[in-house]
Structure 1
């Protein structure tokens, strides 16, 4: 093991979550007591979180609402708007009460375009959000879908930082009905896809966020919005492993998309990658074939990752980091890169 004193190294946590009191109530009221197959909704208080931060030398935590997000009842835009605004205010108040410890990513009432555009300005100008946490899909509408273009144009205008977070795969389809040509738009239904019947976080999250980021790249959203920055979670999920396949196949068989060189350039210049989860011993090496350590950020995934596991993962990260980087590089990955990105 290296002689680096890891206990003295500062960490800034860009991937961590709060369960605010009202958000907990919304989860229970809408039947999400076991979100995405998790055994329960974890306990969370600012005091518990700060205690963990002190034990692990995390100086700043950027709070966000994790999956299943704020669109807890499909096709209920008014409830989504209410939940989003309420929880954004809660996060803002927590940060105001603990300004030396917390910042926050606001949620958006996706996929509603007018409500999301309004929330972007409100979260920045009134609540003081540092950016936005967007899930890989919003009730089956994936990031990069043309329907969301006005939202991403607004985010680009505001030079927003978006933290991408996975959720369960969802598919939209037309409900079977006996509507006639004179009837209104056919009713939609949403199906949650989880073929193995195990908690989505074990596998499906990795695939779903990869779907979203590939869609953002191939749709031209990333190219069209040069002022927005993106953080992909969990060391890039499975994107590093399939990037070349996607790029080459799109060019060869369909004559479009983004070629391999351009896709890599966009990832190196427009994306950061948090190290929440288990990037060591394997995932980190695939990611580093695409981007350098200057695009990496620390993430704990607390409170959905319990305290004991957060500490164990820090030990794994420290051991793995010491094998490939010097102390100055590790300091940048753990805190310096985030300070530059967010102006902390």
Structure 2
């Protein structure tokens, strides 16, 4: 069954060199930035019936040093140009989510229009930008602009950033950030979007959340009740309102290890019509990507009929990306 991959990554040579220059040879504790080429990616796609992949830059994004606005703008522009060039050479196989130099607002506003002119399918933002989470008032002009353009926003997890605490080791620093912390930072980002009213204010945005909702499912009742009943925030959404937003404004990809357990948590608040295929290649190596795709086939068949699975693998992505 043909798939459209909305959660996979590209490693442009220019971006790799910038990362290496500014100390990101082992981003978020992983052993290395993986090797990547269009040819190797297409070879993998053909092995597991991926018709098209929407490429994006993963953590650490394009803001590579503290207070480095000018550098971030330069890296972002160059990287988006590189992605657009790759897609132009392989238009039937690749699309891309453009990066933004967040938390720099002015640079991001300029890059939104430019990236869409390059053909971006949407925008990839990290779950926090130098400690600023989606929903922070500092970023409101950017979300307003994205809303004007009816943008698709792919939120990719990154390392939790705590400004002012340089040199303090992260909790359980012996484990790579993607192992657990990515899930926690995804949850922070989504909860902040909801509790700040950002999702409700900007009605024309579509949000793509990584990893089948991360640790959000068991926390919906807690963060909604806590904000209203304990903090007394009358404007905060109820549990029912949040679940409605998840069914109307959000999509959730199946990258990583959603089977056999995580998918069950997702289904407590989400619907199969909001699920998307994701491989996380090449940060998930080819052998593991193939094994996970087989496990996904098996897990989906246990839960859903053929038509629903077809939509999860490609139909839902076609709808949101106007393919």
2:184 and 2:223 map into 1 onto residues whose CA distance is 14
Q: Does 1:58 align with 2:20?
A: no
Q: CA deviation at 1:194?
A: 2.5
Match of 2:198 in 1: 221
Q: CA deviation at 1:196?
A: 0.3
Match of 1:124 in 2: 116
Deviations along 1:87-121, one digit per CA (max 9) or x if unpaired, are 00000000000001000000001001111000000
Match of 1:266 in 2: 245
The ranges of structure 1 where at least 4 consecutive aligned residues each deviate by more than 3 angstroms after the TM superposition are 189-193
Deviations along 1:18-39, one digit per CA (max 9) or x if unpaired, are 0001011001100111000000
Deviations along 1:301-322, one digit per CA (max 9) or x if unpaired, are 0010000000010111111111
1:144 and 1:310 map into 2 onto residues whose CA distance is 33
Alpha carbons of structure 1 residues 235 and 84: separation in structure 2 relative to 1, 3 Å: same
Q: Does 1:199 align with 2:176?
A: yes
1:171–1:192 CA contact under 8 A, matched in 2: no
2:32 and 2:169 map into 1 onto residues whose CA distance is 20
Match of 2:75 in 1: 83
1:144–1:221 CA contact under 8 A, matched in 2: yes
Q: Does 1:144 align with 2:135?
A: yes
Larger Rg: 1
1:168–1:204 CA contact under 8 A, matched in 2: yes
1:294 and 1:27 map into 2 onto residues whose CA distance is 37
SS of the aligned residue for 1:78 comes to helix
Match of 1:160 in 2: 151
SS of the aligned residue for 2:200 comes to helix
| Two-structure CA RMSD over aligned residues (Å) | 1.0
Q: How many residues align?
A: 320
2:80 and 2:104 map into 1 onto residues whose CA distance is 16
Q: Does 1:319 align with 2:295?
A: no
5+ long unaligned stretches in structure 1: 1-8, 174-188
Q: CA deviation at 1:190?
A: 5.2
5+ long unaligned stretches in structure 2: none
2:193 and 2:296 map into 1 onto residues whose CA distance is 29
